[in-house]
């Protein structure tokens, strides 16, 4: 497998596992991962939140770790990257309001580069207008958004992932083994 340059767009209150695990796993197999957040620079950090499934009607949220960013958002040119990772959590809810973020997301689809989104990361895909006709999994509460954007919501087990063209999606962090395996397959194509 040849090393790829991967961009991760994240922000405050990103889901802890959905940020830390892919960041570390992709680096462990030799890829370079640049994690960025609008209005922040390399060395700054974002707050994370731990979302868990404890039998309530929705997930619970607890404070997570600080996650250090490795690149400066303002310096990023998506043309210099082979793939994109979009973690979930609460960050996508406000990141989708940033035109520069949406332009970056669109770049990866316009150039058929691999994209991995998990949980609420689908909110960025919806806002970028890239889901029309695509199968997409996400946290179940995002189903109406996916469908209103013209996507086909993949109602799969929380431990599963789905690939449609250049896009790999999963409902939440319990799907990391399947999600990351499918993403790595795309990285090797």
Q: Is 111 a catalytic residue?
A: no
Burial-class residue 10 by CB neighbours within 10 Å (0-12, 13-18, 19+): buried
Burial-class residue 47 by CB neighbours within 10 Å (0-12, 13-18, 19+): middle
Q: Which among 120, 136, 142, 176 is annotated as catalytic?
A: 120
Contact 153, 138 (CB under 8 A): yes
DSSP 20-61: HHHHHHHHHTT-EEEEE-TT--TT-EEEEEEEE-SSSSS-EE
Pick left, alpha or beta for residue 116 (phi over 0 → left; psi -120 to 50 → alpha; otherwise beta).
beta
Of the candidates 22, 7, 31, the residue with the CA atom closest to the CA atom of residue 172: 22
Q: Is 119 a catalytic residue?
A: yes
The C-alpha atoms of residue 135 and residue 166 are separated, in whole angstroms, by 11
For residue 133, give both structure tokens: 């006709």
CA 131 to mean position of chain CA atoms: 14
Q: Which among 31, 37, 51, 119 is annotated as catalytic?
A: 119
The C-alpha atoms of residue 160 and residue 165 are separated, in whole angstroms, by 17
Question: What residues act catalytically?
Answer: 119-120
């Amino acid at each position: 497998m040849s090393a790829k340059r991967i961009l991760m767009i994240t922000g405050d209150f990103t889901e802890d596992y959905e940020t830390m695990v892919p960041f570390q796993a992709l680096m462990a197999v030799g890829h370079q991962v640049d994690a960025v957040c609008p209005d922040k620079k390399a060395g700054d950090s974002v707050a994370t939140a731990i979302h868990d499934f404890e039998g309530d009607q929705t997930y619970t949220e607890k404070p997570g770790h600080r996650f250090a960013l490795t690149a400066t958002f303002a310096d990023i040119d998506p043309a210099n990257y082979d793939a994109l990772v979009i973690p979930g959590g609460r960050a996508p809810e406000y990141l989708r309001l940033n035109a520069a973020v949406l332009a970056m997301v669109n770049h990866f689809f316009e150039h058929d580069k691999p994209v991995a989104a998990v949980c609420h990361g689908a909110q960025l895909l919806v806002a970028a207008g890239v889901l029309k006709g695509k199968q997409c999994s996400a946290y179940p509460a995002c189903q109406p958004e996916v469908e209103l954007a013209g996507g086909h919501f993949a109602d799969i087990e929380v431990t599963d992932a789905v690939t449609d063209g250049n896009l790999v999606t999963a409902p939440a962090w319990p799907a990391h083994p399947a999600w990351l395996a499918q993403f790595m397959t795309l990285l090797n194509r």
